[in-house]
Amino acid sequence: SFTTTTTTRTTTNIHPTAVVDPTATIHNTAQVGPFSYLGPNVTIGKGTNIGAHCTILNCNLGSRVILHSGVRIGQDGFGFFPTTSSPSSSTTPTSTTTAPKKKPQELRVDIQDDVEIGSNTTIDRGSWRDTTIGTGTKIDNLVQIGHNVIIGKFCLVAAQTGIAGSTVIGNEVLIGGQVGVAQHLKIGDGARVAAKSGVVSNVHAKQTVGGYPAVDIGIFRRQSVEARRKGKGKKDKEKEKERGKNN
């Protein structure tokens, strides 16, 4: 059963439609919006504002955190042992094939003070260490953060970025929109990642990278110029060929 006592729910700080587990701890200055759910042993810090339709599980939220509508925090990460099967020349699954087996996802998410998280962003709970979002970091809408990820202080992560499990991101890192970051990588303090990049190797501190796979920004720009030059040359040859046919 869930508590409705005035010690955890008032008309001013927790919306009547919100569902709060009795073991959750909520500071009396925190705000919880309509239809949000706060699960067992969640802690919510001073001045934190949780928007509508959020789900908060296995999580500690610090002070002055802002969660926009639809945020999901603390659900299981994507961890499975792959399918195994007996040797066979057929690629069709047989009765000896075993389904992927789920790996335990039993740890928490630590959201530190002054973090802001955009609508419909998801942050998975840890499996071998807590997933952590550092103080003052701002995360846009529609971002996926995998289990065991650590993001440092004062980072900016733009929309539709996906960060795979167990990656460590330093302090003051800037990540553009629609970036994909592979698992178990390190991105150093002050690094910058251009929009739509695919990061598949470590990024040094203060380095700027772009492209897929992401490379140093100077190399990426030269590659882009060369690609445009080759594309223009191909088009010019096609035009000359067409003119020759017409003549």
Residue 228, pLDDT score: 83
231: pLDDT strictly greater than 80:
no
Residue 227, pLDDT score: 84
Residue 246, pLDDT score: 66
pLDDT band at 230 (very low <50, low <70, confident <90, very high): confident
Nearest 5°: CA angle at 24, between 23 and 28?
Answer: 130
Name the residue with higher pLDDT: 198 or 239.
198
Catalytic residue from among 68, 147, 184, 204: 147
66-124 pLDDT, tens digit each: 999 999 999 999 999 888 765 555 566 555 678 899 989 999 999 999 999 999 999 99
Q: Are 69 and 50 in contact (CB under 8 A)?
A: no
Closest CA relative to residue 169, chosen from 120, 204, 197, 195: 204
CA torsion 194-197-201-204 (nearest 10°) is 0
Place of tokens 């992927």: 100
Residue 89, pLDDT score: 53
Could you give the count of Cα atoms lying within 13 Å of 235 in the half-sphere of its Cβ? 6
Please give the order of strands across the beta sheet that includes 131-133.
25-26, 43-44, 59-61, 109-111, 131-133, 150-151, 168-169, 186-187
The one-character DSSP state at 160 is T
243: pLDDT strictly greater than 80:
no
Lowest mean per-residue pLDDT among 4-8, 85-89, 119-123, 150-154: 4-8
Q: Are 173 and 190 in contact (CB under 8 A)?
A: yes
175-211 pLDDT, tens digit each: 999 999 999 999 999 999 999 999 999 999 999 999 9
How many residues appear in the chain? Answer: 247
Closest CA relative to residue 200, chosen from 181, 218, 225, 227: 181
Residue 95, pLDDT score: 58
234: pLDDT strictly greater than 50:
yes
Check if 27 is active-site. no
Mean per-residue pLDDT over the chain, rounded: 89
Residue 243 phi/psi, 5-degree rounding, is: -65, -40
Residue 241 tokens, joined: 């060929």
Phi-psi map region of 136: left, alpha, beta (phi>0 left; psi -120 to 50 alpha): left
Residue 97 to residue 86: CA distance in whole angstroms: 7
Residue 174 to residue 104: CA distance in whole angstroms: 31
Residue 55 to residue 36: CA distance in whole angstroms: 6
Place of tokens 């990278």: 209
In what helix (H) or strand (E) does residue 233 lie, and over which residues does it extend? helix 217-246
229: pLDDT strictly greater than 80:
yes
